[in-house]
Structure formats: C-alpha cells, structure tokens
Amino acid sequence: MRVDLFDFDLPEDRIALRPASPRDSARMLVVQPGEALSDQALQDKGVLDLPDFLRPGDVLVSNDTRVLPAQLFGTRGEARVGVTLHKRVDAKRWHAFVKNAKRLKVGDRVVFSQNLSAIVEDKLPDGPIAFLFECEGPVEAALMEAGTMPLPPYIASKRPADEQDQQDYQTVFARKQGSVAAPTAGLHFTDRLLAALDARGVERVTVTLHVGAGTFLPVKAQDTLEHKMHSEWGEVTPEVAGKLNAVKARGGRIVCVGTTSLRLIESAADETGVIHPFKAETDIFITPGYRFRAVDVLMTNFHLPKSTLFMLVSAFSGLETMKAAYAHAIAQGYRFYSYGDASLLFRYESQP
C-alpha cells in the first residue's frame, strides 16, 4: 500500500508534553467500526470508563517491560556526542542511534561519565552504531547514574527530560528492564483503574516486549512493501499462553494494552488462533489486509502520521474508520502521542 494513504495533518499544539494528572484522568475515544463508515460509532469517554466496555471473563494483556534511562551524552575528545541506546546485544554490547554519527570512526572511545565509556565496534547499515561498553558490572546499572529518560523525539525537541519523567515515563506494570521507549498505553493505568477492572471480572496477565528506539523511526519508503520493520525481543510464557487460550475457548476476549502487547500476541499465535509460548525477536509488520489471529480489542494512544503504528490501528479497525476517528480526535482537542490521550479500538467486524 502507498504510505501516503496513512498521512494526516496534526496541529503542533495537539502534541502532549506532559501526561494527564492523575494518569487515569486522560480522555479515551471509543471506536466501534461498522460495516460502512456511516455506521461507525465514536464515543468520547475517559480512561476510567474502560471497565464499562469490557465483559466479565475478558482478559487484559499488558506489557511489563521497564524503560531504561537510555539517553546518554558524552564526549569524544572535544566533541559532544548524543547517544540513544536502541537494542541490547549482550551484557556489554548495545546498538545505538547517534547524532552526527558520521563523525565517529570504528575504534573511537566515547566517555559518558567517570564510570562509563564505550568503544565504537562497528557502523551498521541504516545508521546505528555498535558500541562495546566499558564499565564495572552491568551496563544497565551504569545507566542509572549516567543516563536520562529517552523521551520521544517529538517531546525531546521541545523540552529536556527531567526528574518528573523518571516517574511519568514508566508504567504501573513495569517490572523487567530492557526498553528504551515506554509502552505508552500502559501509562494511563493506576491502582484505582486496576481495582475497577478486577471488580468487573476482567482477568489480567502480562507479557514482555522490550521496545526499541526504532519505534520512532519514520517510514521512508513510498510503499509499505519496501519498509523493513525493526525487530524487538519479546516473551509470552507458557502459563500466559495457556490462560489466554482458555479465555478464548470460553468466549472471552483478548484486550491488549498497547500495540506492543498486540504485536507480541499476534506473533505468538498460529493461523488457527492458538497462542503458543514465545521467546524470541519479532519484526511483525501489520498493515491493512492482515488477518488478526487472536486479539479482539486494543487500547492505544494516538500515533504519528505515516507511522507503522497508525498502519497497525488502520488494519485493526479499518483505514477509513481510523482516519475519521483521528479527524474527530483532532477537532475535539484530544492530546496526541506518548503522553497523550487514549483510544479504545474494537476489531473490524469482518475480521474472523
């Protein structure tokens, strides 16, 4: 499909620079697509209304990844170097995006703090730098001292990360370190909302998908067939796979919190809809025409024009439906992107 089919105009003032406070006070646009555009239902609700749209016996799937302070600023000689870690390779090696990467050569040393430096091991295709870190103990521990929260570029270009982001850019589900970007739909959840979901009879499970900085990379191709999706590591445990299959067998729905959870569940599901244990990289790229295997409902934030994530939600609820939903959200003053409001999407009814 042509990438420009997924374009839309978004005013700059719709980009949220801080989250709603409290988190669960964010707005939520409910999208229930019909067979034709005229039949679609758009409802302006709030995140706290989520339990009203779920049924007893449904299961909520959230991502328990924890964001690392993966933004680093260092020096190579007299030159300042800005680094955003992208993907963990092993205990001491990471791939990273670097501003002015052309200035770095293989063998260069970049110093980030007294206890953390890195050697350029390779310059990879499409731009990333392969670093070998020099530090005592795990790199992740050193990042706690030397790194800052890796805010998305559309926020970082307007303000620097601060102490408040240490809390704001972490979900209530966060347990397993490894992401360099937040699974942002999860940012809306609070203990109060989780208690309401429990009271409604909605089951809850967690999966792990470590989000890479590649999630923010623009789609440069003119056709979706030419775009190479970044890969991310994920895990669905045997216990979670079994529970999800049991929910589906008794008629319950799988409700994913965020596109990261959805991409992982769809990666773990076979063509019959059975979900299997999964522990590997996934580069699944979902565009209109994809037949969803397992996921029934998706809660997600509002995404960038021409992004892989807007393509995903267009596959889930229909391209024309999502264009209309986003036009409505813009007109009604919804807040967009990582710190913005939420949408609750139901799968297009023609899906099996």
Task: Say whether both 48 and 84 belong to one domain.
Answer: no
Question: Any idea which of 156-165, 182-191, 192-201, 318-327 has the lowest mean pLDDT?
Answer: 156-165
pLDDT for 40: 56
Mean pLDDT to the nearest integer, 263-277: 97
Task: Say whether both 15 and 143 belong to one domain.
Answer: no
107 C-beta neighbours (distance < 10 Å), count: 8
Task: Say whether both 23 and 123 belong to one domain.
Answer: no
Task: Say whether both 24 and 100 belong to one domain.
Answer: no
Please determine, for residue 352, whether its predicted confidence score (pLDDT) is greater than 60.
no
Task: Say whether both 52 and 82 belong to one domain.
Answer: no
Parallel/antiparallel/unpaired status of strands 254-257 and 59-63:
parallel
Final residue in a domain of this structure, among 94, 115, 147: 147
Instruction: Tally the domains of the chain.
Output: 2
Question: If DSSP codes are grouped into helix, strand and coil, which group holds residue 330?
Answer: helix
What does the pLDDT look like over 284-307, one tens digit per residue? 999 999 999 999 999 999 999 999
DSSP string, 56-85: TT-EEEEE-EEE---EEEEEETTEEEEEEE
For residue 85, give its domain range.
71-147
Final residue in a domain of this structure, among 103, 132, 147: 147
What does the pLDDT look like over 174-199, one tens digit per residue? 999 999 899 999 999 999 999 999 99
Task: Say whether both 196 and 293 belong to one domain.
Answer: yes
pLDDT for 235: 98
Question: Is 80 domain-assigned?
Answer: yes
Residues in the chain: 352
Q: Which one-letter DSSP state was computed for residue 155? A: H
pTM over 0.85: yes
- Please tell me which residue, 151 or 268, carries the higher pLDDT value: 268
* CA 202 – CA 197 distance, rounded (Å): 6
CATH number of the domain within which 80 lies: 2.40.10.240
Radius of gyration of the chain (CA): 20
Mean pLDDT to the nearest integer, 158-164: 91
Percent of all residues in the chain with a pLDDT value above 90, rounded to a whole number:
78
Task: Say whether both 57 and 204 belong to one domain.
Answer: yes
pLDDT bin (cut points 50, 70, 90) of residue 37 is low
Give the tokens for residue 35: 């067979």
What does the pLDDT look like over 67-126, one tens digit per residue? 999 999 999 988 899 999 988 888 899 999 998 778 899 999 999 998 899 999 999 887
